[in-house]
Amino acid sequence: MFPRMAVRRVSPPAAFARPADAADAPALTRLLDQLGYPCSEEQVRARLGFGPPDRRVVVAELDGDVVGLAVLELIHPLHEAAPEGVLTALVTEANARHRGIARVLLADVARRARQAGAQRLTLRCHRRRDDAHAFYRALGFDETHLTFDRGL
Ligand SMILES: CC(C)(COP(=O)(O)OP(=O)(O)OC[C@H]1O[C@@H](n2cnc3c(N)ncnc32)[C@H](O)[C@@H]1OP(=O)(O)O)[C@@H](O)C(=O)NCCC(=O)NCCS
């Protein structure tokens, strides 16, 4: 017989998602910079304040710190009966990656999209973002479309 040993369970991260507010502007500025879109705190505050009603800005908090950002936009294509949820930004703080933060954010955003009547969630992701491709595939997204860009 082995002596009885205390079993220590490893808990999942206690990260949770919540809507962003103006006080999150410094964290959002840092996260947008990490996503590759540098901007000022003032710009972030202005964008939060004047965003369209169909935009949901969600942050992930872990141990009191904002460590992730997801932005959901709802669009209403003429050719579809239901609105479509579009994930226009997703980023986890560089030193908090691989801890389930984006998974928590995505679950929250998907719930909000469903609540708004959407039946699908789509996104575009640059070809060079290999980590993100692996993440989306792991979370059940399929590659379905090509996207095209042209400056105006
Ligand atoms: C993509 C990104 C948001 C993932 O964030 P994250 O918090 O590290 O992801 P999670 O820890 O929630 O990962 C969930 C699952 O995705 C998969 N995954 C995440 N990152 C991965 C990687 N680099 N390689 C392979 N699989 C990966 C894993 O299956 C993981 O589950 P597991 O940890 O149980 O194996 C993060 O890497 C990031 O911010 N990248 C830079 C910004 C970016 O490219 N954003 C996307 C713009 S379209």
Give the model confidence (pLDDT) of 90-149 as tens digits: 999 999 999 999 999 999 999 999 999 999 999 999 999 999 999 999 999 999 999 999
- From CA 63, how far away is CA 66, in angstroms rounded? 9
Is 20 exposed, middle or buried, given 0-12, 13-18 or 19+ CB atoms closer than 10 A? Answer: buried
Among protein residues, the one whose CA lies closest to atom 5 of ligand 1: 102
The whole-model pTM stands at: 0.92
Given CA atoms 57, 142, 131, 63 in this order, what sign does their dihedral have? positive
Fold of 16-138: Aminopeptidase (3.40.630)
19 CB burial (10 A radius; 0-12, 13-18, 19+): exposed
Give the per-residue pLDDT at 39. Answer: 98
% of the chain exceeding 70 in pLDDT: 91
Atom of ligand 1 nearest to the CA of 97: 8
Q: Which residue owns the Cα nearest ligand 1 atom 41?
A: 91
- Among 130, 135, 141, residue to substitute to test ligand 1 (most atoms within 8 Å of Cβ): 135
